[in-house]
Amino acid sequence: MSAAEGPLVVGVDTSTQSTKALVVDAATGEVVASGQAPHTVSSGAGRESDPRRWWDALREALHQCGDAAREAAAVSIGGQQHGLVTLDGHGRPVRPALLWNDVRSAPQARRLTEELGGAKFWAERTGSVPAASFTVTKWAWLAENEPEALRATKSVRLPHDYLTERLTGEGTTDRGDASGTGWWASATEAYDEEILAHVGLSPALLPRVVRPGEVAGTVRDSHDLPFAKGTLVAPGTGDNAAAALGLGLRPGTPVLSLGTSGTVYAVAKRRPTDPTGTVAGFADAHGDWLPLACTLNCTLAVDRVAALLGLDREAVEPAAHLTLLPYLDGERTPNLPNASGLLHGLRHDTTAGQLLQAAYDGAVHSLLGALDLVLDEDADRSAPLLLIGGGARGDAWQQTVRRLSGRPVQVPEARELVALGAAAQAAGLLTGEDPAAVARRWNTTRGPVLEAVERDEATLARIAGVLSDAAPLLERSTDAR
């Protein structure tokens, strides 16, 4: 490990699949140590995880960081959004957490939208229209399906809140993650009492929303983690807001993130209110807004298609006649929570590589379709797309995004941007800086720019046509898992 120029901070990303920890030099942004440990996610009727395993994974990831973690002056935790963590009076999970990609609450999402003023009411009140991923719909699902668990619940947290509270002993969250619950009013930046009353959730069960730059608490004791008692703990935030911090985003710069889910977002000065529900009007972690469109099916779905075909994920061939909508987990954009995958245009001469390319095309199409809605009227639509996430370094992903967007693409060299954003937030506590300014000082967006190529209008039109024709079938699909 090289000698650090400044104090060390720890940034954590507790994602759907694993926990990653980075020890970072607050002065230079150099990653001096890292660790990673997997999570277990159920694969039955829904998507659930035991929050206690997140703590175990955090402990293992920090252990891999060695002595560097023990020297940290501050820590911050970024995490998967929307997950419903229900705790008893002793802070123990009542049941496994319902994760963001658990779509069983789709009926509750539809019902809540109808019962409380329709999509326009929700968009204006919370910034977003409820979808099956949102926490408020999961709480409504729990009330209908597991009333005993509901009665046993004495506090409700999001995934990053759970880990932060175990560090500090205090129930806190931040505006970025709170804005994805469906019960935080973006207009007033407070919990919405009418919505909470409607779903039967007392505000006393919810964490305090910590302001940007405020200390969430200090490490209360060493537990079995390497931190010293009294180590500063930043508020943390949701994964997309953390990645935006990690990139040091300025308003209008578009980001396309290729992970288990796919997301398109940009920092905005104006509060978003999209009544179509395509764009979620999230808050960011430092006082602005983060309009975002999300798909459920991205790298995991394409990798599953590659596995079914027995192909390496890069073994693609041009697919001029084929359309594959890879909605393997239902879909959020477009809003088809019970849909399944759909293949159109299969012929005798179709190759496995063409099928795989069609899966890439289908996954990217939904994200690009929402891009214009995410960007406000002042955004530069010729600026490079920042391509991040696990798929960003894959050639097939890069070429598909270039071909279907017609825009230049920049691939930052920095890895683990959620954890880096959390580290920047922790560093901001020590220096008094805006965490995004910290990340810009670290030059986290440095990386190659791939020039624009001609936009593939034919493929975009073909996919749009198939989606339109198949919409009634997709809407009637049932979840047979």
Cite the active site residues: 239
- Contact 18/36 with Cβ under 8 angstroms? yes
| Nearest of 41, 77, 99, 95 to residue 162 by alpha carbon | 77
Place of tokens 């790298």: 299
Place of tokens 């079938």: 473
* Cα distance between residue 462 and residue 468, in whole Å: 10
| Nearest of 263, 198, 214, 194 to residue 76 by alpha carbon | 214
Q: ∠34-39-44 over CA atoms, to 5°?
A: 160
The rounded Cα 216 to chain-centroid distance in angstroms is 21
Q: What are phi and psi of 96, to 5 degrees?
A: -60, 150
- Contact 214/74 with Cβ under 8 angstroms? no
Exposed/middle/buried for residue 366 (C-beta within 10 Å: 0-12, 13-18, 19+)? buried
